[in-house]
């Protein structure tokens, strides 16, 4: 009985892997039998070899590191600015009146559309990429911070007032923690946009980074390196998502949906 139970739980744990592993197997088989041409799509084993070689030469690590650096700096600037602006417009009617409609207008401009201008302004060095990431991540964080503060239960604020809390205390103990779930949703959105922006920026103008690595490999028809670059993006994206989940579990420990034990995985 207990054996069949543990077997079942093992199957349950392995279940999410069935589909990706199966696809990989089919892919590998297709490549081996010549059904998929190596120039179109290299076999997973070839990609693994490419990974090993570029990791050994240190090229992969260097490129990942530089992309990561750009992403984090861009996010810190854009996300930080979005957070501060979101708090301002969330807390103050006057700031909302002054800033919100302008920000909403800018938000609707696809930030990748300004790449030509950005290249004109900053050339093709680091600033251009960081600027683009910052612009891309600002709006999701801004929007969700603003929304988070605005949707806090008015009753809680009244309760705090009745119990003698000042404006400052209300902000720290009621508004900010209350907006946190929403802010973190914004952060997760921003992370997705962060990688997307970086890929585009790096493929257009760069001499390092994962985007550059894949574009360079395309020139030489090294499809295995291109696929490797795509996989690295996928892994970085997943890692960023996991990091926010960890933050959520910590910051939102009070939230019924994040209580230890009820976290679904």
Nearer to another protein, 125 or 153 (CB): 153
Question: If 0-12 CB within 10 Å is exposed, 13-18 middle and 19+ buried, where does residue 21 land?
Answer: exposed
Decide if residue 161 touches another protein (CB under 8 A): yes
User: Does the footprint of another protein cover residue 163 (CB under 8 A)?
Assistant: yes
The least CB distance from residue 137 to another protein, in Å, is 25
Asked if 141 contacts 78 with a C-beta cutoff of 8 angstroms, the reply is yes
Looking at the chain, the number of H-run helices and the number of E-run strands are 12, 0
Q: Name which of 39 and 154 has its Cβ closer to another protein.
A: 154
User: CA-to-CA distance for 227 and 41, rounded, in angstroms?
Assistant: 8
CB of 153 to another protein, least distance (A): 8
Closer residue to another protein, CB minimum distance, 8 or 167: 167
Number of Cβ atoms within 10 Å of the Cβ of 172: 11
Shortest separation between residue 100's beta carbon and another protein, angstroms: 26
Q: Closest by alpha carbon to 241, among 197, 184, 198, 199?
A: 184
- Find the binder of another protein among 158, 234, 243, 263 (CB under 8 A): 158
Q: Which of 31, 75, 91, 160 lies at the binding interface for another protein (CB under 8 A)?
A: 160
How many residues in the shown chain lie near another protein by CB under 8 A?
A: 23
Nearest distance in Å: CB 265, another protein: 20
Pick from 2, 256, 260, 261: which binds another protein (CB under 8 A)?
Answer: 256
Distance of CA 105 to the CA centre of its chain: 23
Select 94 or 255, whichever has its Cβ closest to another protein: 255
Give the CA distances from residue 106 to residues 68, 69, 77, 194, 244, in Å, rounded to whole numbers and listed in that order. 26, 26, 17, 17, 26
| Token pair of 149 as six digits | 């503060």
Tokens of 104: 């909403």
DSSP assignment string, 127-195: HHHHHHHHHHHHHHHHHHHHHHHHTS-HHHHHHHHHTT--HHHHIIIIIHHHHHHHHHHHHHHHHHHHH
Among 26, 94, 255, 263, binds another protein (CB under 8 A): 255
Q: Which one of 33-41, 70-78, 161-169, 241-249 is the stretch in contact with another protein (CB under 8 A)?
A: 161-169
Least Cβ distance, residue 253 to another protein (angstroms): 8
Of 209-238, binders to another protein (CB under 8 A) are none
Q: Which residue, 133 or 180, is less far from another protein as judged by CB?
A: 180
Which residues of this chain interact with another protein, rule CB under 8 A? 153, 155-156, 158-165, 169, 173-174, 177-178, 180, 252-256, 259
């Amino acid at each position: 009985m207990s054996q069949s139970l543990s077997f079942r739980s093992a199957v349950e744990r392995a279940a999410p892997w069935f589909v990706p592993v199966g696809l990989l197997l089919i892919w590998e088989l297709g490549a081996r039998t010549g059904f998929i041409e190596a120039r179109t799509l290299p076999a997973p084993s070839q990609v693994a070899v490419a990974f090993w070689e570029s990791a050994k030469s240190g090229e992969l690590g260097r490129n990942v590191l530089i992309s990561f650096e750009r992403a984090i700096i861009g996010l810190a600037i854009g996300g930080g600015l979005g957070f501060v602006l979101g708090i301002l417009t969330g807390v103050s009617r006057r700031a909302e009146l002054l800033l919100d409609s302008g920000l909403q207008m800018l938000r609707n401009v696809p930030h990748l559309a300004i790449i030509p201008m950005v290249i004109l302004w900053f050339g093709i060095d680091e600033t251009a990429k960081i600027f683009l990431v910052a612009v891309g991540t600002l709006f999701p964080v801004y929007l969700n911070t603003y929304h988070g503060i605005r949707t806090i239960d008015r009753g809680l604020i009244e309760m705090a007032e009745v119990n003698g809390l000042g404006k400052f205390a209300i902000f720290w103990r009621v508004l900010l923690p209350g907006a946190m779930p929403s802010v973190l949703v914004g952060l997760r959105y921003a992370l997705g946009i962060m990688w997307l922006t970086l890929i585009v920026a790096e493929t257009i103008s760069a001499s390092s980074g994962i985007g550059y690595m894949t574009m360079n490999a395309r020139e030489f028809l090294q499809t295995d390196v291109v696929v490797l670059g795509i996989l690295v993006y996928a892994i970085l994206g997943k890692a960023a998502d996991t990091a926010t989940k960890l933050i959520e579990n910590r910051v939102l420990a009070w939230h019924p949906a994040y209580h230890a034990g009820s976290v679904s995985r």
